[in-house]
Amino acid sequence: MPTFAQVNVGDALPAQDFPITRLNLVKYCGASGDFNYIHWSESFANEVGLPGVISHGMFTMAEAGRVVTDWIGDPGQLCEYSVRFTRPVAVPDDLVGTTISVSGTVAEKLDDNRVKVDLTATCKGETVLGRAYAIVRLP
């Protein structure tokens, strides 16, 4: 885990790619209790105007947050985390699925050893989370 003194505005966090398959969505349905048809039924998703089955927004958000928690090493030091869902993440019905790519940059050093990290999350080159940021406390 980096210390507050070691971190500078503009520092990049290690970027990560997160594959998402239909199996991930089925497991998340069970874990979250969110069995909305748009997360598992292709015909229903198309019927309501979606590009196919889509990932749960909270699943996408959680995967993006891993960039921050992996960087700080202790998820208990995450003070605040916020995103806006800007585009659905369509997950094809194959064994490959899709991938979200997440990067982060230290945007600001705050008081009390906290830093603000801005996150960028994309899928197939398009932003899927907007105004994504985390505030973490560093030693």
Counted domains in the chain: 1
Mean pLDDT of 82-101: 97
Is residue 28 over pLDDT 90? yes
How sure is the predictor about 94, in pLDDT bands with cuts at 50, 70 and 90?
very high
Q: Is the pTM of this model over 0.85?
A: yes
In a domain, 88, yes or no: yes
Per-residue DSSP letters for 34-73? ---GGGT-HHHHHHTT-SSSB--HHHHHHHHHHHHHHHHS
Mean pLDDT of 14-38: 97
In a domain, 30, yes or no: no
95 three-state secondary structure: coil
Domain holding 61: CATH number? 3.10.129.10
Range of the domain at 103: 4-20+56-137
In a domain, 46, yes or no: no
In a domain, 38, yes or no: no
| C-alpha dist (Å) from residue 134 to 10, 71, 113 | 15, 12, 14
